[in-house]
């Protein structure tokens, strides 16, 4: 279910729906009871029958309240908008921003003013927004990273992020992830030991995997440029 913020009482789907401008949802009608997905009281709000809002291919049926026959318009919209599955996104009270990979790390270290919702996918096939929650703090906030919830503390995790970025100047992400480094001629061994000492306690954790995923790889970008240049040269 879309997590409800214990302070503001809002489901993440509701914030995302408002950020999108509360678009019309086909088949919505005034209903009572509770939303089958976020479990929020409808209280004479607009809702859509479950069979219309939830496609047969929906795989998270364990999140549905089988006794509720309707899905609120916020949840119905979030289920129907494909970009919310296919792209990483940030939702605030006023807008949804679909993110490029190189925008993720700066956002994790300098999040916006709350409230906000942040979802980062790996497969970009799953409905992450129905699993996430509304953030009310910049000092400690929640990121839905595929199906895993990650708590980020920018002040605490900044040195980890910077260490990962520094290592990416000489090593690939798979080496940093495993800790099995191949010799990089231009990388200072003492610097490698210093950076490794910072990241080693985090290796394998959710925050480490999220920051590694969000970090840009200069080596990979260089290879991509060289491949494009070589390809252009062949033609």
Give me 135's structure tokens. 């953030």
Give me 48's structure tokens. 């859509």
Q: State whether residue 141 is helix, strand or coil.
A: strand
Cα angle, residue 85 at apex, residues 82 and 88 outer, rounded to 5°:
120
**Max Cα-Cα span within the chain:** 67
**Dihedral sign (CA 75, 80, 84, 86):** positive
**pTM, 2 dp:** 0.86
pLDDT digits (tens, 9 = 90+) for 66-121: 789 999 999 999 999 999 999 999 999 999 999 999 999 999 999 999 999 999 99
pLDDT digits (tens, 9 = 90+) for 190-213: 999 999 999 999 999 999 999 999
pLDDT digits (tens, 9 = 90+) for 165-198: 999 999 999 999 999 998 665 789 999 999 999 9
């Amino acid at each position: 279910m879309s997590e409800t913020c214990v302070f503001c009482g809002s489901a993440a789907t509701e914030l995302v729906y408002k950020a999108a401008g509360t678009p019309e949802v086909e088949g919505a009608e005034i209903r009572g009871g509770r939303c089958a997905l976020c479990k929020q009281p409808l209280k004479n709000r607009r809702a859509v029958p479950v069979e219309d809002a939830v496609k047969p291919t929906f795989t998270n049926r364990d999140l549905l309240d089988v006794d509720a026959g309707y899905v609120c318009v916020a949840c119905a919209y979030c289920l129907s908008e494909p970009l919310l599955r296919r792209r990483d996104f940030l939702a605030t009270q006023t807008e949804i921003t679909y993110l490029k990979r190189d925008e993720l790390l700066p956002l994790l270290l300098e999040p916006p003013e709350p409230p906000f919702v942040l979802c980062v996918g790996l497969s970009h096939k799953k409905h992450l927004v129905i699993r996430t929650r509304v953030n009310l703090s910049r000092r400690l906030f929640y990121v839905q990273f595929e199906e895993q919830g990650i708590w980020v503390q920018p002040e605490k995790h900044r040195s980890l992020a910077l260490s990962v970025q520094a290592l990416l100047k000489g090593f690939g992400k798979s080496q940093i992830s495993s800790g099995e480094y191949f010799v990089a001629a231009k990388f200072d061994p003492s610097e490698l030991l210093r950076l490794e000492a910072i990241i080693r306690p985090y290796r394998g954790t959710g925050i480490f995997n999220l920051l590694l995923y969000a970090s840009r790889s200069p080596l990979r970008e260089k290879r991509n440029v060289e491949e494009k240049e070589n390809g252009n040269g062949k033609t």
